[in-house]
Amino acid sequence: MAEETSSDTKQIGISKIYVKDFSFESPKAPDVFRSNEWSPQTDLNLRSSHKPVEGDETMHEVVLTITVEAKQEDQTMFLAEVQQAGLFQIDGYDDEEFRAIVGSFCPNILFPYAREAIASTVQRGGFPEFVLQPINFDALYMQSRQAAAQQQAETAEKH
Protein backbone atom coordinates (compact mmCIF):
# COMPACT_ATOMS: atom_id res chain seq x y z
CA MET A 1 0.00 0.00 0.00
CA ALA A 2 1.36 3.41 -0.97
CA GLU A 3 1.86 6.01 1.68
CA GLU A 4 -0.30 9.09 1.44
CA THR A 5 1.75 12.24 0.97
CA SER A 6 0.77 15.69 2.15
CA SER A 7 0.24 16.79 -1.48
CA ASP A 8 -2.54 14.18 -1.77
CA THR A 9 -4.40 15.59 1.22
CA LYS A 10 -7.11 18.19 0.68
CA GLN A 11 -7.50 20.58 3.55
CA ILE A 12 -9.63 23.64 4.36
CA GLY A 13 -9.35 25.37 7.71
CA ILE A 14 -10.62 28.63 9.16
CA SER A 15 -7.82 30.44 10.98
CA LYS A 16 -9.55 33.76 11.71
CA ILE A 17 -12.74 35.67 10.89
CA TYR A 18 -12.68 39.44 11.32
CA VAL A 19 -14.11 42.75 10.16
CA LYS A 20 -11.58 44.38 7.86
CA ASP A 21 -13.53 47.61 7.27
CA PHE A 22 -16.95 48.96 8.19
CA SER A 23 -18.78 52.19 7.53
CA PHE A 24 -22.24 53.49 8.31
CA GLU A 25 -23.71 56.81 7.22
CA SER A 26 -27.07 58.40 7.86
CA PRO A 27 -26.79 61.72 6.00
CA LYS A 28 -30.39 62.83 6.70
CA ALA A 29 -30.31 62.23 10.46
CA PRO A 30 -32.03 63.49 12.55
CA ASP A 31 -34.63 64.70 10.02
CA VAL A 32 -35.16 61.16 8.73
CA PHE A 33 -36.67 60.16 12.08
CA ARG A 34 -39.43 62.79 11.97
CA SER A 35 -41.49 60.85 9.46
CA ASN A 36 -43.63 57.94 10.63
CA GLU A 37 -43.62 56.50 7.14
CA TRP A 38 -40.81 54.03 6.50
CA SER A 39 -40.84 52.31 3.11
CA PRO A 40 -37.35 52.61 1.66
CA GLN A 41 -36.01 51.10 -1.53
CA THR A 42 -32.86 49.15 -0.70
CA ASP A 43 -29.99 48.37 -3.01
CA LEU A 44 -27.65 45.51 -2.19
CA ASN A 45 -24.24 45.12 -3.75
CA LEU A 46 -21.87 42.30 -2.89
CA ARG A 47 -18.52 41.12 -4.09
CA SER A 48 -15.76 38.91 -2.86
CA SER A 49 -12.03 38.84 -3.40
CA HIS A 50 -9.12 36.78 -2.24
CA LYS A 51 -5.37 36.98 -2.05
CA PRO A 52 -2.67 34.72 -0.73
CA VAL A 53 -1.05 35.65 2.57
CA GLU A 54 2.59 36.49 2.09
CA GLY A 55 4.91 33.87 3.52
CA ASP A 56 2.38 30.99 3.57
CA GLU A 57 1.22 29.58 0.24
CA THR A 58 -1.66 27.67 1.85
CA MET A 59 -3.10 30.68 3.71
CA HIS A 60 -5.55 32.95 1.85
CA GLU A 61 -7.46 36.04 2.90
CA VAL A 62 -11.01 36.09 1.52
CA VAL A 63 -12.97 39.35 1.81
CA LEU A 64 -16.75 39.56 1.36
CA THR A 65 -17.88 43.15 0.80
CA ILE A 66 -21.57 43.96 1.27
CA THR A 67 -22.99 47.41 0.63
CA VAL A 68 -26.58 48.29 1.52
CA GLU A 69 -28.13 51.62 0.62
CA ALA A 70 -31.65 52.54 1.73
CA LYS A 71 -33.34 55.37 -0.16
CA GLN A 72 -36.70 56.98 0.27
CA GLU A 73 -37.90 59.44 -2.36
CA ASP A 74 -34.41 59.51 -3.92
CA GLN A 75 -32.77 60.51 -0.65
CA THR A 76 -30.30 58.23 1.08
CA MET A 77 -31.58 57.26 4.52
CA PHE A 78 -28.57 55.09 5.36
CA LEU A 79 -25.58 53.54 3.71
CA ALA A 80 -23.79 50.61 5.32
CA GLU A 81 -20.77 48.74 4.02
CA VAL A 82 -18.87 45.90 5.63
CA GLN A 83 -15.76 44.08 4.52
CA GLN A 84 -16.01 40.80 6.38
CA ALA A 85 -12.78 38.86 6.04
CA GLY A 86 -11.37 35.51 6.93
CA LEU A 87 -8.06 33.72 6.84
CA PHE A 88 -8.50 30.28 5.33
CA GLN A 89 -5.92 27.54 5.03
CA ILE A 90 -6.56 25.89 1.66
CA ASP A 91 -4.27 23.12 0.49
CA GLY A 92 -4.29 20.23 -1.95
CA TYR A 93 -6.98 21.43 -4.39
CA ASP A 94 -6.64 21.87 -8.14
CA ASP A 95 -7.25 25.29 -9.72
CA GLU A 96 -10.95 24.75 -10.47
CA GLU A 97 -11.67 23.44 -6.95
CA PHE A 98 -9.67 26.32 -5.45
CA ARG A 99 -11.69 28.91 -7.41
CA ALA A 100 -14.94 27.33 -6.21
CA ILE A 101 -13.71 27.36 -2.60
CA VAL A 102 -12.73 31.05 -2.57
CA GLY A 103 -15.67 32.05 -4.80
CA SER A 104 -18.45 30.19 -3.00
CA PHE A 105 -17.49 28.19 0.09
CA CYS A 106 -15.57 30.97 1.89
CA PRO A 107 -18.15 33.74 1.19
CA ASN A 108 -20.82 31.34 2.54
CA ILE A 109 -18.84 31.09 5.78
CA LEU A 110 -18.38 34.87 6.02
CA PHE A 111 -21.94 35.91 5.13
CA PRO A 112 -23.63 35.30 8.52
CA TYR A 113 -21.01 37.47 10.24
CA ALA A 114 -21.47 40.27 7.70
CA ARG A 115 -25.26 40.00 7.92
CA GLU A 116 -25.16 40.34 11.72
CA ALA A 117 -22.77 43.31 11.56
CA ILE A 118 -25.03 45.18 9.14
CA ALA A 119 -28.26 44.31 10.98
CA SER A 120 -27.00 45.42 14.39
CA THR A 121 -25.43 48.63 13.07
CA VAL A 122 -28.53 49.64 11.11
CA GLN A 123 -30.59 49.13 14.26
CA ARG A 124 -28.09 51.12 16.35
CA GLY A 125 -28.40 53.84 13.72
CA GLY A 126 -32.03 54.24 14.80
CA PHE A 127 -33.64 52.37 11.91
CA PRO A 128 -36.00 49.38 11.98
CA GLU A 129 -34.48 45.93 11.96
CA PHE A 130 -32.82 45.11 8.65
CA VAL A 131 -32.29 41.45 7.84
CA LEU A 132 -30.41 40.39 4.74
CA GLN A 133 -31.98 37.35 3.13
CA PRO A 134 -29.82 34.26 2.54
CA ILE A 135 -27.67 34.38 -0.58
CA ASN A 136 -26.90 31.39 -2.79
CA PHE A 137 -23.17 31.88 -3.34
CA ASP A 138 -22.96 28.62 -5.30
CA ALA A 139 -25.39 30.01 -7.90
CA LEU A 140 -23.61 33.39 -7.97
CA TYR A 141 -20.27 31.65 -8.48
CA MET A 142 -21.66 29.58 -11.36
CA GLN A 143 -23.19 32.70 -12.95
CA SER A 144 -19.87 34.54 -12.75
CA ARG A 145 -18.03 31.56 -14.30
CA GLN A 146 -20.60 31.39 -17.13
CA ALA A 147 -20.35 35.14 -17.73
CA ALA A 148 -16.54 34.94 -17.82
CA ALA A 149 -16.68 32.02 -20.27
CA GLN A 150 -19.16 33.88 -22.49
CA GLN A 151 -17.03 37.03 -22.45
CA GLN A 152 -13.94 34.98 -23.31
CA ALA A 153 -15.81 33.34 -26.22
CA GLU A 154 -16.98 36.73 -27.51
CA THR A 155 -13.43 38.10 -27.30
CA ALA A 156 -12.10 35.07 -29.18
CA GLU A 157 -14.73 35.57 -31.93
CA LYS A 158 -13.60 39.17 -32.48
CA HIS A 159 -9.98 38.12 -33.07
Residue 156 forms part of a structural domain: no
Residue 66 forms part of a structural domain: yes
The CATH number of the domain holding residue 133 is 3.10.420.10
CB 90 within 8 A of CB 14: no
Which structural domain range is residue 85 located in? 10-151
pLDDT tens, position by position, 8-49: 799 999 999 999 999 999 998 998 888 778 888 999 999 999
Residue 36 forms part of a structural domain: yes
Q: What is the DSSP letter of 9?
A: -
Residue 1 forms part of a structural domain: no
> Total domain count for the chain?
1
Residue 4 is predicted with a pLDDT of 46
Q: Three-state SS for 112?
A: helix
Phi, psi (rounded to 5 degrees) for 37: -90, 125
Q: What is the DSSP letter of 38?
A: -
CB 68 within 8 A of CB 42: yes
